[in-house]
Each structure stands twice: as structure tokens, then as C-alpha cells.
Structure 1
């Protein structure tokens, strides 16, 4: 099939590489300009560079809604558009242009975790598996019929970085497998159960701030979800920003006020956590490594030289 590919960052790069390695013919690539946004500088392999290396025409756009682009797409005469990590709305006249429509590749197990940052949100929420879904694009974002889906397990110590590497390896088999199904003549695919759909927004600094009223189990997953190269989860100590690089759920149960710097346990320092911490039934978050405002990373047992005081959400 003749394929036009829309994509950006490493997800788009992996998709384009899979298409180039397949029997399908990539006739045009549409990608975004380079960005200085913190999250868009992570996993930033260039789709444009890869396309140019293989002699594929490249179009750079923030939004795919202008007449020149529409004319170029019509001239490319695609059988299908394949999109992965395209960051803005694709209008109906574009996604319905090809003979077989548009296949979108999304890094979640749709219908759950439509939208943005699905791996981070899934890890925070304690999901036991994550994955990649190829679905037909329609008027609702990430809501079209599922062509192919693959899942991988979330390990008890997995970080968002680990899950990225697990799922990015699924892009090639899911994308090419879905195209092969479409090329074989299949036209009916699996409708999404919209009663199970969830939709998440882009992550920003406010979403990385630690709220000590959350249960320790959720905070531990938040720390793993904000693994390098993502910005680390952070709190404030004595008015200074303090990043939590690693942490575990405490073995003991600790009562009191959320955020209290309470007790040394093993290699960590336990912080009281949970909205009902006053009951004494909660585990705490045992912080093991921190990074200070001046960039020093050190064990929590070295940073917290005495117990007492509080970690807070704001200075």
C-alpha cells in the first residue's frame, strides 16, 4: 500500500522505521517542527531526518489544516495514512482522504488511557499491563475501531522509562500487522467499549508535585512514573525544592500528619502519607534518594540529618 505517515518524536520515528522496513511504500511524511517543550525534548528522535535519509518527501507542520498540505496529500495518492504521536487535531477531510482512511497507533490499551502521557498515568494508577493499539481514526480522539492491540506486563519495580522501552518495541509489529490485516481486505474491526473509555491530559509541573495526602502506594508509583529522563517528583523541605529520585513503601505503619519526616527504616527515611494518616493504619513513603535544588543527588539518610519537620507541597 501507498502510505503517508504522520508522526513525531521517537514514537513516530519507530513507526516510520517499521514502515520503511515493510513491503509498504512510504510516499510522504508529515511531522512537527522541533520543540523546546520539556516533555517533547524527551524521546526526540527525528522523524524528518529519518525520512530524508531514505529519500521520502517531508512536510513540516504544527497543524495539518492548510490548503497546500491538503493538495500535497491528494497528489501523494495514499491508500492509507498512518499516524503515531501526532500532537494536533487532524481534520476529517485529511483522515478520510485515503482509500482505507487513517490508522492511528497509540501507546495504551484503548479504550483506557486515550489522550496524553498514557504510560505515566497507567503506572501511577497501578495498572498491571500496558500496551499499544492500532485503531482506525474517526471524529473522536483515540476512539475508532481497534485493528490490532498488544499488551505487556507492568513489573513491580518498573519505571515509566522501562515501560517506554517495553511498549516502543511493540510499535513495529502492531503497525505492520494492522496494515497487513487492512491490505488483506478486512474491513470490520473491533469497536471500542466507550463505557470503559478514559481520557487523560498532558502532564505539567503541577502533576509532578507530591501530595502527601495520597497513599504511600500511589506516591511510590508516582516516583517510579517520574523516572529519568522525565522530571522527578518533587516536594519542598524548609522552603527549598527537593526531588524524590527513589522511594519504597515502608514496612511499618506510621500515624500522624501527612508530610511528617518521621523515622529511619532500612535505607530510607519514612514520610507519613495518606489523608487518614491520623489513624495509624497507613504505610509511609520511605524515601531512599533525593536531589537538592542545587542538583546534588544523595541518599535520603544523608540528607535528612535529623527527624522531625515536614515536607510540603509548596514552599
Structure 2
């Protein structure tokens, strides 16, 4: 018996892992729709396009899903099932309706919480202790369809967004393996989401990594681990220099200075709105990453202050 024609929209590590799962399970994947990698982005995840080619499927790249010819090409495949695994564009409703058994999306949160983009980064930034993956039916409104299955993952206090992303990828493959038979048989109806519990977050840009020192040291630490490598990073300014904070440690106790002020050089500690932050890994824009103590020796003195915008270099400050 021929398995249903399945069209896969996929990108990133979750896309790779889920496509790999489908192919290993012998799913009749008739098209893989993905992207070429952007030269402006740090690509740390494996290539969906390369995986498809290795299994004898030439991927469709960078499609305009609103284009009439694209719609015709997908329709010609007579898809019964569609999957979206971290595909970055909203798939038009008329395309979704081509899938007679349903179109399903894998989302990196426990819906209905954290609808929207950058859901894992937001969960880490907000200090959550758990998140997860959700397989749900796709509708014309993003992240709103019936939930087919979910898997919870923990967020450790020292986990970065990448750490959590890899946990979510593991959860996604478990969900897909559990749900695949019911999807292909047309039995995966799912249950409606409770909109009263919904939260929605937008995409994040590099400039959103700006550290606001009047926030608590815990909040700043959560920002750092939410956007540290391979993401653009949390940053501040010292004089006219942009400084990235790749890792730090929140310290308990009262703030020992004005927000943003340096209260210790060895180790490097900066005061915040509540508590203090030990700086472990730091980088001046255009230079190599170094440890906090080395940075302090080269650039700082006690009482120096990090700011939210660049200021003219001060000759009286060491190293500037």
C-alpha cells in the first residue's frame, strides 16, 4: 500500500532531525521545501537541503509561497500530508488546504504559551524552568491549531538557548515518532488550544541584546544565556566601544554600586539594579573574546561604568 504523499517544509536543526525521522520511517516524502543559508547568520545547525539530496530528493529552495506557479507545483504533487518543521515563513491557507489528511507544524514551546517567533530564546530570557515541543494542526493563523501531541523539556539554570534548542529537537523527534501513524491514517484530530492561556512573542533582532543595567543581575544573566553564541549576543558600551558579554554569573546580595558600574576588577563584577554580575567571557567588537579579568586589566578601573549607548572616549580612563 502506497503511503500518502507528504510535502515537508523544514529548516534548522529541528527541521533536519524531523525530516531525518520521516525518511528513516519510510514516509513518502515527495518534496522538501527549505532555504539556502544566509551569509549574515551563524549557521550552527545541519542542512535540511543536504539531507534531502543525500536521500535522493532535490530540495526546493527559497520559494515564494504566494506565487501562482509555486502553488501549482505543490498542488501537482497531490499531497495528503504537510509538515512544517521550523520553516520560517507563514504557509498560505490555500496551500495548507491541499493536504487532505492535514498540515502539521512542530513548534518549540508548550502551546498555547509562547506562540510566535524565537520562542526558545524568549523562554530562557524569561527565566522559565521548562518549555517543550508541540505538534499541532496548521491554520491560517500561526500557532493556533489543534494540539496533536506535546513533550515537556526542562530548562536548567545554566542552560543556553542552544542547549534548550537541542533538547527541543530531541522532544520533536519523539513526538513525531509517536504521532506519525495516526497522522497518516487520518486519525490525528488533536484538541483545541485554550486561548485564555496563550502568550505571544515576536521575533528578536541583534539590537534586542542591549543590556539594561538597572534590571536585576538574574534578568541580565538570563538575557546573556538567551542570546549567547550562536546568537548575536548581549552587549553594552564602555566609552565608544561596543562590548559583548558572552557569559556571566549573577551574584546574590545587595547591589554594591550604581547600575553598570565596575565594583571589582579581579574578578570583574558589575553592579546592577538588583544584585551584581560577575563577568566571565567578554569581547570588544572587532577583537578576540577574552575572560573578564583580562578585559578589566586592559580597559577598566574601579568605578568605570557601562552604558546603554556609546559615549566619546575618555582619555582619563585606562585603555581608552
CA contact (8 A) 1:128 1:154 kept: yes
Structure 1 counterpart of 2:288? 296
In structure 2, relative to structure 1, the CA distance for the partners of 1:161 and 1:44 (3 Å cut) is: closer
The whole-number CA distance in structure 1 between the counterparts of 2:283 and 2:234 is 10
TM-score by length of 1: 0.90
Deviation per residue, 1:226-245 (Å, 9 max, x gap): 22222221111122111112
The whole-number CA distance in structure 1 between the counterparts of 2:234 and 2:62 is 33
Match of 1:5 among 4, 8, 12: 8
The whole-number CA distance in structure 1 between the counterparts of 2:151 and 2:68 is 37
**Residue 46 of structure 1: how far off its partner (Å):** 2.2
**Residue 105 of structure 1: how far off its partner (Å):** 0.8
The whole-number CA distance in structure 2 between the counterparts of 1:237 and 1:153 is 36
**Residue 176 of structure 1: how far off its partner (Å):** 3.0
Structure 2 counterpart of 1:177? 178
Q: How many residues align?
A: 304
Q: Which runs of 5+ in 1 are unaligned?
A: 275-281
In structure 2, relative to structure 1, the CA distance for the partners of 1:79 and 1:253 (3 Å cut) is: same
Q: Which runs of 5+ in 2 are unaligned?
A: 311-320
TM-score by length of 2: 0.89
Classify the secondary structure of the residue corresponding to 2:21: helix
Q: How does 1:1-315 map to 2 (within 5 A)?
A: 1-38=4-41, 41-263=42-264, 268-274=267-273, 282-305=274-297, 306-315=301-310
Structure 1 counterpart of 2:318? none
CA contact (8 A) 1:223 1:247 kept: yes
The whole-number CA distance in structure 1 between the counterparts of 2:163 and 2:267 is 23
The whole-number CA distance in structure 2 between the counterparts of 1:250 and 1:43 is 31
**Residue 296 of structure 1: how far off its partner (Å):** 2.7
Classify the secondary structure of the residue corresponding to 1:257: coil
**Residue 57 of structure 1: how far off its partner (Å):** 4.3
CA contact (8 A) 1:247 1:268 kept: no
**Residue 83 of structure 1: how far off its partner (Å):** 0.7
Classify the secondary structure of the residue corresponding to 1:253: coil
4+ long deviations beyond 6 Å: none
